Amino acid sequence: MSVDPNVVLPLASSLLSFVFFVFLIDQWRERRRAYQLIWAIGMLWYALSAGTEFLGSAYGWSEPLYRAWYLIGAVWVAAWLGLGTVYLLARTRFGYAFAVSVLLAGLFSALAARRYEEVGASAVVYLAIAALLALGIVVLAWRGDPRWAHVAGVAVVGGSVASVVMVATVTLPAPGWVVDPATHIPTGELFPGYIRLLTPLFNITGAFALSLGAAYSAYTMMPKRRVIRYAIRAGQSVAERLRNVLVAPIAMVVNFVASLPGALVALFRGRLHSRVPATLLIAIGGLIPAITSGANRFGATSGFFIGELLGVVFLFAGFLVSLEVFGEIRLPFTRIVLVSRRREA
């Protein structure tokens, strides 16, 4: 009997995501960090989204299943995982970069509007919302106020609630679902433009926060070679602060690349902080499904399920590697320790 990858791959993604969710919930019970709970919610959405794909491929699609797949997978997953990283990095300068990603997502939605029908004024509204959010985040980040993460949180929660109403009430043409005729993988073609434009708002910002936030964390913990120097600190004049904020993105990329040889040497000598390889794995785990889901959006569906599985594999591997996150791995909701490792300073 032949094995259908459209059944096996999403089933594996769903099961692994659910296991990851259980570990994160157990960790949150012990440490009570907001980002752990938000990541757990994001992985629950990941598990449920892949579960709808398994059910649709194995037993046939239906309109309720199709609506659930789009709502959870296309709108919620990346946004909630990215929000967890936002809360993790709330006390850093990452707010500037996140604000840029929010604004770019709004611009992308406005530019992509011409591809779809039934867009109406939604593209302008989404762009205006993104611009206001970006401005609020920048102002708070400029002041060194970690509450910029709460602004992002209100946007994700509010957008999630609004998306439930929008997806649940829209009328879909019969039969109420659609799959690629060649690969039999679902696409979002039946949804009108004003709903499809939600996905870049949620996915671009979420994937950016998850992947670039992980890379940012790696950069802060790795031995660095500073080819381009900059400093963002309290007491600077407005002009000096602005200059450093504008230089920082270029400097961080250049310095990150220049620091990789030293990081490899530290890795082989056992002196590299575990967060560096862990967060790089997480960055890869966020990037792969972002690419394959983006390709699905433009009609290239063949890599969608494998990208989804690789994403959760790399994400889970990254969290397990980090001593900071999983210094002690035990059976969830018990005191039975499977692995205990010395935490780093």
According to DSSP, the β-strands at 337-340 and 328-330 are antiparallel
pLDDT of the residue at 237 = 78
pLDDT of the residue at 112 = 85
Lowest mean pLDDT of 5-14, 165-174, 258-267, name the range: 258-267
Mean pLDDT of 205-233: 82
pLDDT of the residue at 329 = 63
Q: Could you tell me the CA-to-CA distances from 91 to 34, 41, 95, 207, 244 in Å, in that order? A: 13, 22, 9, 20, 18
342 pLDDT more than 80: no
Q: How far apart are CA 201 and CA 41, in angstroms?
A: 19
345 pLDDT more than 50: no
Lowest mean pLDDT of 11-20, 145-154, 317-326, name the range: 317-326
Mean pLDDT of 50-55: 96
Q: Could you tell me the CA-to-CA distances from 211 to 35, 86, 111, 172, 283 in Å, in that order? A: 15, 11, 24, 34, 4
255 pLDDT more than 70: yes
One-letter-per-residue 3-state SS of the chain: CCCCHHHHHHHHHHHHHHHHHHHHHHHHHHHCCHHHHHHHHHHHHHHHHHHHHHHHHHHCCCHHHHHHHHHHHHHHHHHHHHHHHHHHCCCCCHHHHHHHHHHHHHHHHHHHHHHCCCCCCHHHHHHHHHHHHHHHHHHHHHCCCCCHHHHHHHHHHHHHHHHHHHHHHCCCCCCCCCECCCCCCECCCCCCHHHHCHHHHHHHHHHHHHHHHHHHHHHHHCCCCCCCCCCCCCCCCHHHHHHHHHHHHHHHHHHHHHHHHHHHHHHHCCCCCCHHHHHHHHHHHHHHHHHHHHHHHCCCCCCHHHHHHHHHHHHHHHHHHCCCCCCEEECCCCCCEEEECCCCC
pLDDT of the residue at 168 = 94
Cβ(116)–Cβ(193) below 8 Å: yes
Higher-confidence position of 284 and 216: 284
Confidence of residue 344 (pLDDT cuts 50, 70, 90): very low
Note the pLDDT tens digit of each residue in 116-135: 888 888 889 999 999 999 99
81 pLDDT more than 60: yes
Mean pLDDT of 32-52: 94
Cβ(344)–Cβ(323) below 8 Å: yes
Cβ(237)–Cβ(138) below 8 Å: no
343 pLDDT more than 60: no
Confidence of residue 111 (pLDDT cuts 50, 70, 90): confident
What's the whole-model pTM score? 0.88
29 pLDDT more than 90: no
pLDDT of the residue at 200 = 85
Place of tokens 């939604």: 122
Cβ(100)–Cβ(65) below 8 Å: no
What is the domain partition of the chain in residue ranges?
Answer: 5-222+273-340
310 pLDDT more than 80: yes
- 42, with CB counted inside 10 A (0-12, 13-18, 19+), is buried
pLDDT of the residue at 226 = 82
Note the pLDDT tens digit of each residue in 317-335: 888 877 555 556 666 666 6
Note the pLDDT tens digit of each residue in 155-196: 999 999 999 999 999 999 999 999 989 999 999 889 999 999
Average pLDDT, the chain: 86
280 pLDDT more than 80: yes
Higher-confidence position of 342 and 254: 254
Note the pLDDT tens digit of each residue in 63-73: 999 999 999 99
Mean pLDDT of 264-273: 76
